[in-house]
A and B are shown apart, each in its own frame.
Chain A
Amino acid sequence: MSSTATIALAGNPNSGKTTLFNAITGARQRVGNYPGITVERKEGTVSLDDSKINVVDLPGCYSLSAYSQEELVARKVLVDERPDLVVDIVDATKLERHLYLAVQFFELGIPVVLALNMMDDASKQGLRIDRQRLSALLGCPVVETVARSGQGKQELIRQALDHAKARGGVWEPLRISYGPDLDLALERMTELIEAAGFMTNRYPARWVALKYLEADQEILAAGQELGGPAEELVALVRELREHCRKTLNTVPEAIIADYRYGLINSILRQKVVSHETTRSERIDMSARLDSVLTNRLLGPAIMFGVLYAMFQITFTLGDIPMGWLDSLFGWLGETASAVIPAGLVQSLVVSGIIDGVGGVMGFVPLIAIMFLMIAFLEDSGYMARVAYMLDRALRVFGLHGCSAMPFIVSGGIMGGCAVPGVMATRTLRSPKEKLATLLTAPFMPCGAKLPVFLLLIAAFFSDNQAQIMFTITLFAWAMALLVSKLLRSTLIKGDPTPFVMELPPYRLPTLRGILLHTWERVWSYMKKAGTVILAVSILLWAAMTFPGLPEESATKFAAERQAVAATVQDEGQRLAMIETINNREAQATLRYSVAGRIGSFFEPVSQLAGFDWRTNIALVGGFAAKEVIVSTFGTAYSLGEIDPEESASLSNQIAADPAWNQATALALIIFVLLYAPCFVTVVTMARESSWRWAIFSTVFNTLLGFGLAVIAYQVGSLFLA
């Protein structure tokens, strides 16, 4: 016999919830998104005896109010999917604060098992927690766990399963007394709600009443739509609010929070927690680290040092496997050329598929190393310090300390991706700061723009690569901040929102957590390479191949070749001349193709920034995905080259091309950095804000990028001349 149960993992951010989820479900997880919003949904399974248990990882939240999307989602999953049980993961060293969420689960009535996590830290700090007593006082099973080592997870699952069976899906809301004034009102409201069956199919009646007192936006809106006793409830709340203001000089939601903390304290005071050592003897590692890492002078210096070290490590370390992949795809291309007879099919496989996908895959090592380091910084708690240290500076530009994260993920320290970056803006509560962040995050040098920069830098500024890359990054930040300031003082004006944020204690991240995190990012990049970019590569190849040169032109080139073959005696000279003719023919073919015509059409305008029709083709392709820019250059140049054995790299070819100089390279770097985000990012932006803003950013960024590219090219040309 086998049965299935669904348990939801809940807990505050930094309670070790994700680590515990990974420990429980191992590799058996699915990552997706909740429909309509971008909060990540993680699910996994675990088996125990005959039972198969679905585990849903709820987003981390501090409360069940409607403050953030995470909280709304957690609430929605509980009431709409009605899991059999909630495992509430609390940090044993911060019981008082973490039980605040637990109390709200008790009020909702769903069966709860409490996981006392980070027991290793607790014992290190000399904390003793009387588990039996806590369990008896809370009226739910309490299990001790250490998520990082997986200790206690078996018992946790067993207890969860037993408790779920014992409760049989029955919700038993806890009734907390909120003092005479509130209790009286709550009772009257509960009666009204019960009598009308008002939202009682989803929530317990008293809980709805509480949410009315707390002025919960979501419940109020849902109530207004339903009608029924909504108006009467609102009137009752208004009356009580006035009463509280007059007699107690406070608001109902403040009283509710006070009583909840009061309840928690009354429980903890009953000899649940004891300290073996006095607090003053304890050495607080995090506090000591913070006194250095967030020190007024040392803090920023260390921060910039850490960020700069990330470049150096990424580039030095990433170079090695990138070379291997480069050789691999070079070999694949040669093999394909040898195996497949010359013609359209060979051209498709070699120029379209292998060159296109190879160009993208070559950057996988870079991205993997980058995300490995970002994951380390995030999980170690340092990222929150970065937000803390940068908040004051970012606020000047109408942003928030939390804007640092989306910027960094988008590529603010290079090699990121604007798609997760734009998604990361959902942690920003204020719609205005969020909008400013998500509109400017795509300016960052994402992993897909890197190849373009690397190509151009190798060709034109090879003496100081790292310095130029660093300058590009600083320029990206400057543009993002200035444009954000511009937007926040024009189109999206408004006051800044609260910066209430937890500084989690420093901890050494688990290898497994970091590897999982990195793998998710790298895999999604590779999937993008395998699907969207492969399709775009083939599409672009077709656009650059068809229509072929008309018969008469082809005949003309053939005749020229024959003439050379017949007249020129010296073999070396003859081959050179034929190659020149072939190059001219390839050039003419490309220009005659669909892509060439589009590129030529824009050339009169783009010439202002020094871009010829070939660059234009690549830039149009870049809208589909920025990776395509380099692969299009690759395709374009391999199409224009006669000898497949020719080993000169693309950057040598571009460097040798008379149409290119340092001014052109600079203009192109600026344009690629700033112009329209790739299509995937635009779709993500539309989902996070609206299509109006997504289209705005596409048009605005392109105009801005072009304007600056023109200035760079014109001024640069003056200096070169």
Chain B
Amino acid sequence: MDNSLRKLAVNEKARIISITASGEMSRRLRDMGLVPGTDVEVVGRAPLRDPVALRLRDFTLTLRNNEADCIMVEKLEGRHV
């Protein structure tokens, strides 16, 4: 089922289906490796629950919740990223 990245809980894994952002924001996300087909894992949230920290392609990235809204994902059950 498609969901936005924001809905994921810490330690949940998912695969990116599409990026709904446009312009500079979308370019920035892609340059950092967030492209459809990529597997990501939510590894943490900042003390105020925002931003969120993701693990993908062997590195850790942080995003704000409203940016995570632009990333549509499907949850992966119990799989390593």
Residues of A that sit less than 8 Å from B by CB: 62-63, 65, 67, 93-97, 100, 214, 250-251, 253-254, 257-258, 261, 279-280, 286-287, 290-291, 294-297, 299-300, 388-389, 391-393, 395, 401, 429, 496, 498-505
Contacts and interface: CB of A to CB of B under 8 A. Distances in A.
Contacts of A389: 46-48
Nearest to A68: B28
Task: List the 7 closest A-B pairs by CB distance, nearest first.
Answer: A392-B48, A257-B30, A63-B31, A503-B60, A97-B57, A499-B64, A96-B57
Nearest to B33: A97
A403 B46 CA distance: 16
B50 A97 contact: no
A302 B22 CA distance: 38
B63 interface: yes
Given A296-B47, A391-B46, A429-B28, 15 more contacts: A65-B27, A97-B32, A253-B26, A254-B19, A254-B30, A261-B33, A291-B44, A294-B46, A296-B45, A388-B51, A389-B47, A392-B49, A499-B62, A499-B63, A499-B67
Nearest to A396: B48
Contacts of A401: 51, 62
B8 interface: no
B53 A500 contact: no
Nearest to A303: B47
B77 interface: no
A234 B43 CA distance: 42
A300 B67 CA distance: 23
A282 B28 CA distance: 30
Nearest to A291: B44
Given A251-B26, A254-B35, A501-B62, A392 B51 contact: yes
Contacts of A250: 18
A503 B58 contact: no
Contacts of A95: 58
Nearest to B65: A392
A501 B61 contact: yes
Given A299-B47, A388-B51, A253 B27 contact: yes
B44 to A, nearest CB: 6
The interface residues of chain B, by DSSP majority, are classed as mixed
A253 B67 contact: no
Contacts of B26: 251, 253-254
A290 B44 contact: yes
A96 B58 contact: yes
A498 B67 contact: yes
B26 to A, nearest CB: 7
A215 to B, nearest CB: 8
A279 B53 CA distance: 20
A370 B55 CA distance: 33
The interface residues of chain A, by DSSP majority, are classed as helix
Nearest to A91: B59
A94 B59 contact: yes
B57 A67 contact: no
B35 A500 contact: no
Contacts of B45: 296
Nearest to B43: A287
Interface residues of B, number: 38
Given A93-B58, A294-B44, A296-B47, A261 B64 contact: no
Contacts of A300: 47
Contacts of A297: 47
B5 to A, nearest CB: 12
A16 B60 CA distance: 16
B62 A258 contact: no
Nearest to A127: B58
5 contacts: A96-B33, A290-B60, A294-B44, A392-B51, A499-B63
Nearest to A71: B31
A505 B28 CA distance: 21
Contacts of B50: 391-392
A577 B81 CA distance: 86
Given A251-B22, A388-B46, A392-B48, A500 B57 contact: no
Given A254-B19, A499-B67, A290 B33 contact: no
A502 B44 contact: no
Nearest to A125: B58
Nearest to A395: B64
Contacts of A504: 60
Given A65-B31, A251-B26, A393 B48 contact: yes
Contacts of A395: 64
Contacts of B59: 94, 97, 502, 505
B35 A502 contact: no
B47 A391 contact: no
Contacts of A299: 46-47
A219 B64 CA distance: 30
A18 to B, nearest CB: 18
B62 A279 contact: no
**Which of B30, B38, B50, B57 has the most chain A CB within a 10 Å cutoff?**
B30
B62 A503 contact: yes
Contact of A100 (B31, B46, B48): B31
Nearest to A259: B35
B59 to A, nearest CB: 5
A388 B62 contact: yes
Contacts of B47: 294-297, 299-300, 389, 392
Contact of A502 (B24, B30, B36, B61): B61
Contact of A290 (B28, B35, B43, B64): B43
Contacts of A65: 27, 31
A707 B60 CA distance: 46
Nearest to B60: A503
A258 B44 contact: no
Nearest to B23: A215
A253 to B, nearest CB: 6
Contacts of A97: 32-33, 57-59
B31 A503 contact: no
Contacts of B62: 388, 391, 401, 499-503
A506 to B, nearest CB: 11
B71 to A, nearest CB: 11
A63 B60 CA distance: 17
Contacts of B27: 65, 67, 214, 253
A341 to B, nearest CB: 66
Contacts of A254: 19, 26, 30, 35-36
B76 interface: no
Contacts of B38: 261
